[in-house]
Amino acid sequence: MKRPQRILIILCASSSLAVALSGCSTLAPSYTRPDAPVPASWQQDAAPQVVAADSEQRSVAERVWQDFYLDPRLQKVIALGLTHNRDLRVAALNVERTQAQYQIQRAALIPGVDASGAAGFQRVPADFSSTGEAQKIHQYTVGLGLTSYELDLFGRLRSLRDQALEQYLATEQAQQSARISLVAQIATGYLTLAADRELLHLAEETLKTQQESYQLIQRRFEVGASSELDLRQAQTQVESARVDLVRFTTQVAQDEDNLNLLVGAQVPADLLPSALTDQVAELEGVTPGLSSEVLLTRPDILQAENLLKGYNANIGAARAAYFPRITLVGDLGSGSNELSGLFSSGSGSWSFMPRIDLPIFDAGVRAAQLQVAEIDRDIAIAQYEKTIQTAFREVADTLAQRDNVERQLAAQLALRDATERQYVLARERYFKGVDSHLDVLDAQRSLYSAQQGVVDVRLVRLTNLVSLYKALGGGVKAGS
């Protein structure tokens, strides 16, 4: 067998061996998911409640946002945000970037083969020529070569590939987490705008009522039936209502600007809410006794676990650095001083340069690198556990608020009804001359405050639903 044929066989065998070794194990420690440092379920001091089945609990997290948010206009606003929001666009580009980095790292496991061709032209002066005469030298070469390739005998490259893969998966989870957060932010902004528009409408109606009351007292003052003090007190109420009107007008404008920023585009006017509606969202089957295992589907927790797996894989690369590294370089080609003779008999050329690097002494660099890799893994474990604890607290807080907000709303509605009746009675008694106008003013202020309180509590109730859906990882499987 001719030598060029043998070197070609060696290069091919090296490539086959490298591919075969890519399926071997690495020196990374076996990965075990850390136990969740939280209770098995959310428990409260309230009366016992029926705990949903595990399949029902998980369906809460996997329920797409289109099924959770019931308002058609809100659905359209969210869809606009998912299309135009710039932060979400950056998150998607980060996924593409880490995917490309993973492909680069994965390609290191496969030998790279390059084809090359070159031509050189040179004039050698007579003083430098072996013949004593000036010479013109033409050189033509073509070749097929195996670039510098490391045989991954101890899994160093495979560990780095695994780390890159986990980084890519973590970025995907970060994108999903950003998506869920954006949907919740848009919904909260939409509800806040609806509440402020309702408060603005309430301020307008209050101003109208206060102006009518002022005009009535002014007529009574002109005929001597009311004092100037009553007149000025009524005027004070009118000006106070005007202040609230300006304040809520400004707040509504700011809410619209905030919603436009979240969406990433101008929201059409016909999609903006005019007032709060209780039929915005619906979330059933969630009780304080549900299993905390539902948190394991949250993208931020999955992201923390992917990062942990990546650091675990990096330990394998640090351990492999203690072992020899074998690198292969070779090429097979042809050369001639005439282009026509480039592929003629006797023009063949080849080279094969295997290299081995054996670590002997590095002043503790490899040991320090391994220690750093292990500490990074331990930090990632702590961060993973902290992420779970944070998620558990978010759900616990929203459940605690949900348990009380219904009672708070019922109490606030009762307060509004009572103050409304008080205001009616105070007006009747004032015009009959039984009570002073100060009693009417107190009743008006109490009624206005109670009406505002109803709007505020209804907003809290709806945003609590949004927060709970987000805290449970709602929308994990949302498609678009």
* Both tokens assigned to 253: 């404008």
Helix (H) or strand (E) holding 336: strand 325-336
Least confident of 8-17, 175-184, 340-349, 452-461: 8-17
In sequence order, which residues have a C-beta less than 8 Å from that of residue 164 and are 6 or more positions away?
98, 101, 102, 104, 105, 106, 310
pLDDT exceeds 70 at position 413? yes
- Name the percent of the chain lying above pLDDT 90: 42
**What mean pLDDT is predicted for residues 366-377?**
94
Q: Tell me whether strands 325-336 and 113-124 are parallel, antiparallel or unpaired.
A: unpaired
Does the model's pTM come out above 0.85? no
**What mean pLDDT is predicted for residues 354-358?**
88
Least confident of 42-56, 86-100, 203-217, 292-306: 42-56
Count of other CB atoms within 10 angstroms of residue 23: 8
**End-to-end CA distance of the chain, in Å?**
62
Residues 113-148: tens digit of each pLDDT:
888 888 888 888 887 877 878 888 888 888 888 777
Long-range contacts of 24-27 (CB under 8 A, 24+ apart): 24/152, 24/155, 24/158, 25/155, 26/154, 26/155, 26/158, 26/159, 26/162, 26/313, 26/316, 26/320, 27/154, 27/155, 27/159, 27/315, 27/316, 27/319, 27/320
pLDDT of residue 286: 58
pLDDT of residue 7: 45
Q: What is each CA distance from 233 to 214, 218, 240, 425, 426, in whole angstroms?
A: 9, 11, 11, 19, 15
Summary mean pLDDT of the chain: 84
Residues 265-284: tens digit of each pLDDT:
999 999 999 888 877 887 66
Q: Are 347 and 336 in contact (CB under 8 A)?
A: yes
Residues 46-96: tens digit of each pLDDT:
333 433 444 444 556 678 888 889 899 999 999 999 999 999 999 999 999
Of 387, 374, 299, which Cα lies nearest the Cα of 34? 387
In sequence order, which residues have a C-beta less than 8 Å from that of residue 143 and are 6 or more positions away?
115, 116, 117, 331, 332, 333, 334, 349
Angle at 229 (CA atoms; ends 227, 232), nearest 5 degrees: 115
Q: Report helix angle 156-222 to 72-84, nearest 10.
A: 130
pLDDT exceeds 90 at position 21? no
In sequence order, which residues have a C-beta less than 8 Å from that of residue 433 and are 6 or more positions away?
none
CA torsion sign for 334, 338, 343, 345 is negative
